[in-house]
Structure 1
Amino acid sequence: MSTEKFNLFNFTGKMKTLHMSWMAFFITFFVWFNHAPLLMAIANSLGLDSSQIKTLLILNVALTIPARVIIGMLTDRFGPKIVYSALLIVCSIPCFMFALADSFAQAAIARFMLGFIGAGFVIGIRLVSEWFPAKELGTAEGIYGGWGNFGSAAAAFTLPVVALMFGGDDGWRYAVGITGVISFIFGFIFYMNVSDTPKGSTYFKPKNIGAIEVTSQGDFFLLIIMKLPMYAALALLNWKLSPAGVEMYSQVVASGAYVGLVLLFMYEMKHVWAVNKNIFKEPVPELHRYKFKQVAVLNVLYFATFGSELAVISMLPLFFSETFELSPVYAGMVASAYAFMNLMSRPGGGWISDKFGRKPTLLILTAGLAIGYFAMSLVDGTWPLWLAVVTVMACSFFVQAGEGAVFAVVPLIKRRLTGQIAGMTGAYGNVGAVVYLTVLSFVDYSMFFSVIAVTAVVGFLVLLMMEEPGGQIAEVMEDGSVQMIDVS
């Protein structure tokens, strides 16, 4: 663990790692949401109807559900350096595929595959936690998440301009393609400038990467329960793409996908049992236990916070365009106000957590985002545009500060499992996005925002069960000795 001072203007040691991490995350979001501000141009170019546009929005976040879990496991096993670099390089391929698509089917497949880049977030959570002490961790993770998350806002107000610079029906293709080039190049830059831990520090790895470890029999069953919503979200997506939805494929394919999800769930449960069966033979020593309910609570909160952010970022340009009759470029720039708040609000949520406690901060922020989304449900064409923008920015402060506060807790649960815990919690954000965007396909904007507000209230109630992290967590060194890590 690095002991140097926290100085954002320092570009060596732990601060260099932080800056490289948020830049990598920024690029993943820049690529992941490169379609959102260009939807109108893409729809006109490919001849897409409203249903197909909304399907692309759902596909964009679907694969990220399993991807975040997988990437979390790979990060814990192989380290953030190689995993983040590989993700940036490999995911440039579906980005180029989307830029070259000339039909809905091609665009949908590329968009689905590109959802994998959204898993990059969990890699940096583990990397930053290796370099910063507990008293700075919330702030550091908040800066990583907030400044990186700003990539979606940067896409919103730069890519329409880039598309206009190239002009013509293919302007959007050049804008999307450029983001892929940036991702490809930065993958190599990241690899050459980052190390997994400070010199002399141990990178703790899980005993197994096939499934997350739990430390009690009750937690074993809670883990299984918390797996179900992720599969339900994928089943919901399959239904949306089946003949019952947008008819992207036949009922035979849809039925096969349902069977595949059941088999995949059974396969994962086999791994969960293989990794954790020993807890049914002998109890885990108290020193090495952690409470999985902490993870479950954070999952629910991230469903409401990041899940809603993903959904709102995807639809907000269209919302402003239709509600206030704005041009696509102007609507994209106005909508970027939501994500723009990430620059300060997410680091702010982490900093407040460091100073005033994790649970109290989360309670206040969760209540605030419930009120914020209720206010957004009241916005219509009769509102002054400036007031609508202020309402959106106020709501986004609580949403993104809440995300920062969630991931101020994640690295304090169990160090060697941080990637897997971050992966599962992050996946719940995408579960929320799939659910919310599916809801949006059936209801108007007002009801959409109201549904998010209700789920935030549920999150507030669940949060009451969380315990404030404190004391130390134990990790076993390679030589068998135990190292105690401060979490408060």
Structure 2
Amino acid sequence: MPKQKPAKTIHGASFALGIATLALIVNFWAWSLLSPLGAKLANELTLTPVMLSLLLAVPVIVGSLGRIGFGMLTDKFGGKTMFAAISLLTAIPVLALTFADNYQQFAITAIFLGLGGAAFVIGIPFISAWFPPERRGFVLGVYSMGNAGTALSGFATPRLADNFGRDMTFMIVASLLIIMAMVFIFWGKNAPGWKRAKGSSILPIVAASKLRLTWDLSSVYAVTFGAFVAFGVYLPVLLKVSYGLSLTDAATRAAGFVLLATIARPFGGWLSDKVGARRVVQATLCTIIPLAAFVAFQPTLEPQTTIAYLTLAFVLGCANGAVFAMVGKLAKPEVMGSVTGIVGAAGGFGGFLPPLILGFTYQRMHSYSLALVLLAAAAFVVLIYIHRRLKDKSLYAMV
């Protein structure tokens, strides 16, 4: 009998990882639902570049703020309950999109679509509780592949809208969210060793906010995940406007960018398990700087430009995987959800500003170059900062 328990635990862990990843995919699809339709909405509603940027950025900022709250609630109520809750809550604004027919209505609904972006923080403590520390870098990278929901949105949303209409597309996504909620309600389980945080729900977030680890990783994630979100949200528009691609072609290429970055996350987590997350974080930041500077000054979509964008996607994915490998290994279980919430919020905030900057610079300069140069500059500043912080072996010795 004792020999059967580990097998049972492994089966339960694999199932938990699978359904959490699926839930993240569907919630991220809902979160980025408007992005592939952005150029078409701009034409229909006669939006300026700044108005469109704001519409696409609103779900990002709401998702960022939501990560703090949902991370705290996950410490208190567990991933089973919170995945079911967030999937049901996100289904409501997705259904509401079927009634939107002007900019104000789309903007209000976009606020609540942001809930889908908060789903990520639920899975980090939920999955970490199922696996030992030495495996968390890889399995959290696998879970983070749920970011492919953004790529799925870029690929599937415009095609579904063309073939079945926009309203039917929204109803399909809402139905998938409700199905995932039911899966967690009836079959989801928290890890056998999981314990809810004691005391007030606010205590874990207070404790997490006092940790140096939280703010060190937030600085990195603000750049790496922020850039990932910004490209995921705005790249369809950038490719269409800068290089004259069709909406479907631009959305498909953007989906490829997001998909590659997503696939790279478990590789970044695995590499962190093997050579150390500190090295992975610093190496990826060093690579982001020249790549961002290079694509900033490419007026045509030549093969080398495409290669640079795809390399940037892969490097960003590796960096994001390494950040949460560090969270999974270093944060205490009782505050892991809250640490994840703050770090995730920093990444979301990092993704909120770039679309606005991209829209503003294009409206003023008819070019996105300055915004991409600012990404390179931000990566450089964070590299200098984190290089000094990671020298503290009392905190970062095990990663």
TM-score of the aligned structures, taking structure 2 as reference length: 0.91
Distance change (3 Å), C-alpha of 1:472 and 1:415? farther
Q: Aligned AA for 2:78?
A: G
Q: Residue 116 of structure 2: SS of its match in structure 1?
A: helix
Distance 2:162 2:311 in 1: 31
Distance 2:261 2:78 in 1: 27
Query: CA RMSD for the aligned pairs?
Result: 2.5
- Answer yes or no: is the 8 Å Cα contact 2:261–2:316 preserved in 1: no
Q: Which has the higher contact order (CA 8 A, sep 6+)?
A: 2
In the TM superposition, what is the alpha-carbon distance from 1:394 to its structure 2 partner?
A: 0.2
In the TM superposition, what is the alpha-carbon distance from 1:140 to its structure 2 partner?
A: 0.4
Alignment of 1:180-329 (within 5 A): 180-198=174-192, 201-212=193-204, 223=209, 292-329=211-248
2:51 paired residue number = 52
Q: Does 1:178 align with 2:172?
A: yes
Distance 1:188 1:77 in 2: 21
How many residues align? The count is: 389
Q: Which residue of 150, 156, 159 maps to 2:157?
A: 159
Distance 1:124 1:211 in 2: 20
Deviations along 1:229-279, whole A, 9 cap, x unmatched? xxxxxxxxxxxxxxxxxxxxxxxxxxxxxxxxxxxxxxxxxxxxxxxxxxx
Deviations along 1:354-383, whole A, 9 cap, x unmatched? 0111211111111112222122212222x4
- Answer yes or no: is the 8 Å Cα contact 1:204–1:416 preserved in 2: yes
Q: Aligned AA for 1:158?
A: A
In the TM superposition, what is the alpha-carbon distance from 1:442 to its structure 2 partner?
A: 2.2
Q: Does 1:446 align with 2:398?
A: no
Q: Which residue of 413, 418, 427 maps to 2:336?
A: 418
1:463 paired residue number = 386
Q: Aligned AA for 2:169?
A: A
In the TM superposition, what is the alpha-carbon distance from 1:324 to its structure 2 partner?
A: 1.8
1:396 paired residue number = 313
TM-score of the aligned structures, taking structure 1 as reference length: 0.75
Distance 2:143 2:393 in 1: 23
Q: Which residue of 311, 334, 350 maps to 1:432?
A: 350
Deviations along 1:99-147, whole A, 9 cap, x unmatched? 32011111000001111211000000011110111111000001111x2
Distance 1:183 1:42 in 2: 24
1:82 paired residue number = 81
In the TM superposition, what is the alpha-carbon distance from 1:341 to its structure 2 partner?
A: 0.7
Distance 2:384 2:196 in 1: 34
1:17 paired residue number = 16
In the TM superposition, what is the alpha-carbon distance from 1:173 to its structure 2 partner?
A: 2.9
In the TM superposition, what is the alpha-carbon distance from 1:12 to its structure 2 partner?
A: 2.7
Gaps of 5+ in 2: 362-366
Distance 1:343 1:436 in 2: 19
In the TM superposition, what is the alpha-carbon distance from 1:213 to its structure 2 partner?
A: 6.0
- Answer yes or no: is the 8 Å Cα contact 2:23–2:180 preserved in 1: yes
- Answer yes or no: is the 8 Å Cα contact 2:62–2:111 preserved in 1: yes
Q: Which residue of 347, 353, 374 maps to 2:293?
A: 374
In the TM superposition, what is the alpha-carbon distance from 1:212 to its structure 2 partner?
A: 4.0
Q: Does 1:103 align with 2:102?
A: yes
Q: Aligned AA for 1:294?
A: L
Q: Does 1:351 align with 2:308?
A: no
In the TM superposition, what is the alpha-carbon distance from 1:163 to its structure 2 partner?
A: 1.2
Q: Between Structure 1 and Structure 2, whose CA radius of gyration is higher?
A: 1
Q: Residue 407 of structure 1: SS of its match in structure 2?
A: helix
In the TM superposition, what is the alpha-carbon distance from 1:94 to its structure 2 partner?
A: 0.7
- Answer yes or no: is the 8 Å Cα contact 2:204–2:334 preserved in 1: no
Q: Aligned AA for 1:138?
A: G
Q: In proportion to residue count, which structure has more helix?
A: 2
Distance 1:90 1:470 in 2: 42
In the TM superposition, what is the alpha-carbon distance from 1:463 to its structure 2 partner?
A: 1.2
Distance 1:208 1:363 in 2: 37
Distance 2:148 2:5 in 1: 28
In the TM superposition, what is the alpha-carbon distance from 1:214 to its structure 2 partner?
A: 6.4
- Answer yes or no: is the 8 Å Cα contact 1:66–1:427 preserved in 2: yes
Q: Aligned AA for 2:316?
A: V
In the TM superposition, what is the alpha-carbon distance from 1:449 to its structure 2 partner?
A: 1.1
1:91 paired residue number = 90
- Answer yes or no: is the 8 Å Cα contact 2:228–2:261 preserved in 1: no
Distance 1:439 1:41 in 2: 21
Q: Aligned AA for 1:430?
A: G
Distance change (3 Å), C-alpha of 1:53 and 1:472? closer
Q: Aligned AA for 2:354?
A: Y
In the TM superposition, what is the alpha-carbon distance from 1:158 to its structure 2 partner?
A: 1.3
Gaps of 5+ in 1: 224-290, 474-486
Runs of 4+ in 1 over 6 A off after TM superposition: 468-473
Distance 1:184 1:461 in 2: 45
Q: Aligned AA for 2:59?
A: N
Q: Aligned AA for 1:304?
A: V
Q: Residue 365 of structure 1: SS of its match in structure 2?
A: helix
Distance 2:189 2:237 in 1: 41
Distance change (3 Å), C-alpha of 1:99 and 1:458? farther
Distance change (3 Å), C-alpha of 1:379 and 1:467? same
Q: Aligned AA for 2:318?
A: A
Distance change (3 Å), C-alpha of 1:322 and 1:183? same
Distance change (3 Å), C-alpha of 1:359 and 1:320? same
Q: Residue 297 of structure 2: SS of its match in structure 1?
A: coil
1:288 paired residue number = none
In the TM superposition, what is the alpha-carbon distance from 1:389 to its structure 2 partner?
A: 2.2
